[in-house]
């Protein structure tokens, strides 16, 4: 089972943007929950189909915890519900098996489903390690696996060499206290001092290469070693090759361990290791879409885009549930776009309709001169070749009040109401918007075709449509897709970051400045009333709007205006409509506006 918290923090082994960490963390947990349900279901099906009658209190899988010290010291949550057998060289409270790990080969074989050994293997001399590892293999069942954690000596030496620091200086803080470079190399000095036991000293060390080699030489069929933060190596070793058949319950346990390892490697940007673990898991059970998705993620981030697209396509062919279905669909399009953009394929440009409005008005409420100037420049670029004006409202008391004043001051046949912290990534924005306006009265970049509560976000992924990006580092964009579609021709409610309206529709509906005297709720009210009045509302997810803010969809201020919208429209909303809940959203990172545009073309 994976540690709480989406995405693991990168330390000396790599770095990532906050958006990248959050993306990986959120995705990892969604995938993990899905695979846990699937493997549990698979194991239950095998149990139900068994010829043997069900036995109450049937034995749980067993894990041998070698040198774990105390059962109060947590082992990975993946082993919850397992029978933990604690081994120690000395008898003590909680110790189940008193045995020197160097003598495991003398015990009856094939007793355990897993062996867990955390920071114990380094306490044996180098020449004793093969005997200990052979003992692990001896007590493991044929379908079992071994999980080992030891210090990463390569990382320790690299850090000490680069820092040129005092070896007694604190390397990191642990629950037991500050840990120095000397502690990692030779053993935790304070523990050795307090106990008087020389056994606590470290007698050997490992790099990823030497740990993998030792496990292979001990007879393990497949070995995976991950370099982790805090100068730690984590190894997963399968006694039997992943290509060999397993019972469903044994397969589920191996899949759980491989998926845990693979997703952990992916989080730490160790993509080759992640792909290798995913392929091993797929060899055990190729019917789980989350495994193909994990493989695609690792390949995409390693820039093996064509292979990544194949993995995502395979995940989709297995008909996954939401959100994995949406994630795989977006990533398949992104992989294709990235591959073809590198090959010289460019996004296709939309053709502007023959009939254009004589004037487009862009109304922007802003008390921030820099934001207003930047947004105005973005619309000047977007509407180059199209007659347009920017109507600035610099002292709006609310967005609804400001938009009403801006509408009254505008002259265009088409009126755009826009936030002041936006940019536009589509190179053919004007042509796309004017094309949409041929068949719509009100157009937004995100919204819903099913207004079920007082926010367009409350509809759930099947009813949501559109996409919006937030800017990242080095020209990258984090694109959030709001549902199963990028476009919706019969929308009932729209997001207010961008609203384009025919002038007559905007004048007919107007903004309710009395009820919505702040910065939220006005958009749902305006667009929902437009829908109720018979206006043709649509979501145009191909306009590629970039918004500096990801939105605050659950703040007290936002909820207060949702409550006002709910009170105003309760009769028009479905019976039992309540306050919206924060939706489960998904984002991908694109490297450029061109990549986003090409990805969008494939999705549409």
Please check whether residue 336 lies inside any domain of the structure.
no
Count of structural domains within the chain? 2
130: number of Cβ within 10 Å: 15
Segment 506-532, tens digit of pLDDT: 999 999 999 999 999 999 999 999 999
Are the C-beta atoms of residues 362 and 389 closer than 8 Å to each other? yes
Please check whether residue 511 lies inside any domain of the structure.
yes
Same domain, 225 and 365: no
SS3 label, residue 248? helix
Q: Which pLDDT score, from 0 to 100, does residue 7 have?
A: 25
The band of 13, judged by pLDDT with boundaries at 50, 70 and 90, is very low
Q: Which pLDDT score, from 0 to 100, does residue 5 have?
A: 25
User: Mean of the pLDDT values across residues 581-593?
Assistant: 85
Query: Would the pLDDT of 314 be above 90?
Result: yes
Burial class of residue 127 (count of CB atoms within 10 Å of its CB; 0-12, 13-18, 19+) = exposed
Task: Say which residue, 59 or 419, is predicted with more confidence.
Answer: 419
CATH assignment of the domain containing 139: 3.40.50.150
CA dist 292 and 285 (Å) reads: 10
Same domain, 371 and 503: yes
Bridge partners of 359? none
Chain mean pLDDT for the chain: 88
The band of 14, judged by pLDDT with boundaries at 50, 70 and 90, is very low
Query: Would the pLDDT of 448 be above 60?
Result: yes
Last residue of a domain, one of 200, 216, 240: 240
Query: Would the pLDDT of 324 be above 90?
Result: no
Query: Would the pLDDT of 306 be above 90?
Result: yes
CA dist 122 and 150 (Å) reads: 7
Helix (H) or strand (E) holding 87: strand 83-88
Give residue 148's domain range: 60-240
Q: Which pLDDT score, from 0 to 100, does residue 6 have?
A: 25
Q: Which pLDDT score, from 0 to 100, does residue 468 have?
A: 96
CA dist 10 and 19 (Å) reads: 13
Query: Would the pLDDT of 417 be above 90?
Result: yes
Are the C-beta atoms of residues 297 and 331 closer than 8 Å to each other? yes
CA dist 340 and 599 (Å) reads: 10
Last residue of a domain, one of 240, 264, 287: 240
Task: Say which residue, 512 or 11, is predicted with more confidence.
Answer: 512
Query: Would the pLDDT of 579 be above 90?
Result: no
Please check whether residue 441 lies inside any domain of the structure.
yes
User: Mean of the pLDDT values across residues 250-271?
Assistant: 92
Segment 489-504, tens digit of pLDDT: 899 999 999 999 999 9
CATH assignment of the domain containing 475: 3.90.550.10
Using only C-alpha atoms, the chain has a radius of gyration, in whole angstroms, of 29
User: Mean of the pLDDT values across residues 266-275?
Assistant: 94
168-182, 261-275, 430-444, 484-498, range with the lowest pLDDT: 168-182
Alpha carbon of 304 to those of 29, 295, 338, 368: distances in Å? 24, 11, 10, 43
Contacts 24+ apart (CB under 8 A), 219-224: 219/134, 219/137, 220/133, 220/137, 220/146, 222/280, 224/258, 224/261, 224/265, 224/273, 224/276, 224/277, 224/280
Please check whether residue 45 lies inside any domain of the structure.
no
Nearest to 16 by CA among 472, 546, 549: 472
Nearest to 461 by CA among 369, 320, 583, 342: 583
Please check whether residue 256 lies inside any domain of the structure.
no
Please check whether residue 468 lies inside any domain of the structure.
yes
Peptide bond into 323 cis (omega under 30): yes
548: number of Cβ within 10 Å: 14
The band of 123, judged by pLDDT with boundaries at 50, 70 and 90, is very high
User: Mean of the pLDDT values across residues 32-49?
Assistant: 58
Please check whether residue 334 lies inside any domain of the structure.
no
Q: Which pLDDT score, from 0 to 100, does residue 1 have?
A: 24
How many residues belong to the chain? 604
Query: Would the pLDDT of 444 be above 70?
Result: yes
Are the C-beta atoms of residues 7 and 28 closer than 8 Å to each other? yes
Last residue of a domain, one of 240, 268, 302: 240
Pick the most confident of 33-47, 91-105, 549-563. 91-105
CA dist 106 and 61 (Å) reads: 22
The band of 421, judged by pLDDT with boundaries at 50, 70 and 90, is very high
User: Mean of the pLDDT values across residues 248-277?
Assistant: 92
Torsion of CA 212, 216, 218, 223, to 10 degrees: 70
Please check whether residue 553 lies inside any domain of the structure.
yes
Are the C-beta atoms of residues 27 and 13 closer than 8 Å to each other? no
Query: Would the pLDDT of 20 be above 90?
Result: no
CA dist 152 and 149 (Å) reads: 9
Same domain, 453 and 584: yes
Segment 127-174, tens digit of pLDDT: 999 999 999 999 999 999 999 999 999 999 998 887 676 788 888 888
Between strands 62-66 and 83-88, the pairing is: parallel
Nearest to 235 by CA among 133, 141, 138: 133
CA dist 186 and 189 (Å) reads: 8
Alpha carbon of 536 to those of 45, 169, 415, 502, 512: distances in Å? 49, 68, 15, 10, 20
Q: Which pLDDT score, from 0 to 100, does residue 140 have?
A: 97
Task: Say which residue, 442 or 174, is predicted with more confidence.
Answer: 442
Q: Which pLDDT score, from 0 to 100, does residue 16 have?
A: 44
Q: Which pLDDT score, from 0 to 100, does residue 217 have?
A: 98
Alpha carbon of 6 to those of 25, 31, 344, 453: distances in Å? 2, 11, 35, 29
* Whole-structure pTM value: 0.86
Alpha carbon of 407 to those of 50, 200, 430, 532: distances in Å? 71, 76, 20, 21
Bridge partners of 361? 389, 415
Bridge partners of 364? 392, 418
CA dist 268 and 25 (Å) reads: 11
The band of 467, judged by pLDDT with boundaries at 50, 70 and 90, is very high
* DSSP one-letter code for 82: S
Q: Which pLDDT score, from 0 to 100, does residue 580 have?
A: 78
Query: Would the pLDDT of 41 be above 70?
Result: no
Nearest to 551 by CA among 474, 482, 602, 465: 482
365: number of Cβ within 10 Å: 25
203-217, 327-341, 343-357, 547-561, range with the lowest pLDDT: 547-561
Contacts 24+ apart (CB under 8 A), 72-78: 75/116, 75/118, 76/1, 76/116, 76/147, 76/260, 77/1, 77/2, 77/3, 78/1, 78/2, 78/256, 78/257, 78/260
Query: Would the pLDDT of 4 be above 60?
Result: no
366-380, 430-444, 564-578, range with the lowest pLDDT: 564-578
């Amino acid at each position: 089972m994976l540690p709480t918290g989406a995405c693991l923090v990168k330390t000396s082994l790599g770095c990532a943007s906050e958006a990248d960490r959050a993306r990986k963390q959120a995705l990892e947990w969604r995938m993990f929950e899905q695979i846990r349900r699937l493997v549990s279901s698979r194991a239950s099906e095998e149990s139900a189909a068994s010829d043997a009658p069900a036995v109450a209190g049937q034995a749980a899988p067993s894990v041998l915890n070698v040198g774990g010290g105390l059962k109060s010291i947590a082992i990975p949550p993946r082993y919850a519900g397992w029978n933990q057998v604690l081994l120690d060289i000395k008898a003590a409270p909680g110790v189940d098996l008193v045995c020197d790990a160097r003598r495991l080969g003398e015990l009856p074989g094939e007793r355990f489903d897993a062996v867990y050994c955390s920071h114990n293997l380094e306490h044996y001399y180098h020449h004793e390690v093969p005997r200990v590892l052979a003992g692990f293999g001896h007590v493991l069942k044929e379908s079992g696996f071994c999980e080992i954690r030891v210090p990463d000596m390569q990382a320790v030496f690299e850090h000490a060499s680069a820092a040129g620091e005092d070896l007694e200086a604190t390397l990191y803080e642990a629950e037991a206290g500050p840990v120095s470079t000397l502690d990692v190399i030779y053993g935790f000095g304070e523990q050795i001092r307090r106990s008087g036991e020389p056994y606590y000293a470290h007698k050997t060390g490992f790099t990823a290469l030497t740990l993998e080699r030792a496990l292979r030489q001990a007879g393990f069929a497949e070995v995976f070693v991950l370099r982790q933060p805090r100068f730690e190596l984590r190894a997963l070793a399968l006694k039997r090759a992943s290509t060999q058949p397993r019972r469903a319950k044994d397969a589920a346990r191996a899949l759980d361990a491989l998926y845990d390892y693979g997703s952990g490697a992916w989080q730490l940007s160790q993509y080759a290791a992640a792909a290798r673990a995913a392929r091993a898991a797929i060899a055990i059970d190729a019917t789980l879409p989350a495994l193909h998705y994990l493989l695609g993620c690792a390949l995409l981030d390693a820039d093996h885009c064509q292979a990544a697209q194949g993995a995502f396509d395979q995940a989709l062919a297995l008909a996954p549930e939401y959100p994995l279905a949406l994630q795989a669909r977006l990533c398949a399009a992104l992989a294709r776009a990235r591959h073809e953009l590198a090959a010289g394929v460019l996004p296709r440009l939309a053709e502007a309709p023959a009939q254009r409005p004589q004037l487009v008005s862009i109304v922007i409420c802003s008390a921030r001169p820099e934001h207003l100037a930047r947004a105005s420049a973005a619309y000047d670029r977007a509407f180059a070749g199209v007659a347009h004006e920017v109507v600035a409202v610099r002292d709006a008391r609310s967005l609804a009040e400001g938009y009403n004043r801006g509408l009254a001051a505008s002259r265009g046949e088409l009126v755009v109401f826009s936030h002041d912290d936006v940019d536009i990534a589509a190179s053919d924005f004007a042509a796309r918007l004017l094309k949409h306006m041929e068949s719509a009265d009100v157009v937004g970049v995100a919204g819903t075709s099913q207004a079920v509560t007082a926010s367009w976000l409350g509809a759930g992924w099947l009813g949501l449509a559109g996409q919006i990006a937030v800017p990242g580092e080095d020209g990258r964009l984090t694109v959030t897709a709001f549902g199963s579609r990028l476009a919706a021709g019969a929308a009932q409610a729209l997001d207010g970051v961008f609203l384009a309206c025919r002038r007559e529709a905007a004048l007919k509906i107007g903004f309710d400045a009395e009820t919505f005297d702040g910065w939220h709720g006005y958009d749902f009210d305006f667009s929902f009333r437009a829908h109720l009045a018979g206006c043709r509302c649509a979501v145009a997810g191909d306009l590629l709007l970039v918004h500096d803010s990801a939105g605050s969809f659950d703040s007290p201020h936002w909820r207060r205006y949702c409550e006002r919208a709910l009170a105003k429209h309760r009769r028009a909303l479905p019976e039992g409509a309540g306050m919206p809940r924060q939706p489960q959203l998904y984002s991908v990172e694109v490297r450029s506006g061109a990549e986003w545009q090409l990805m969008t073309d494939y999705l549409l």
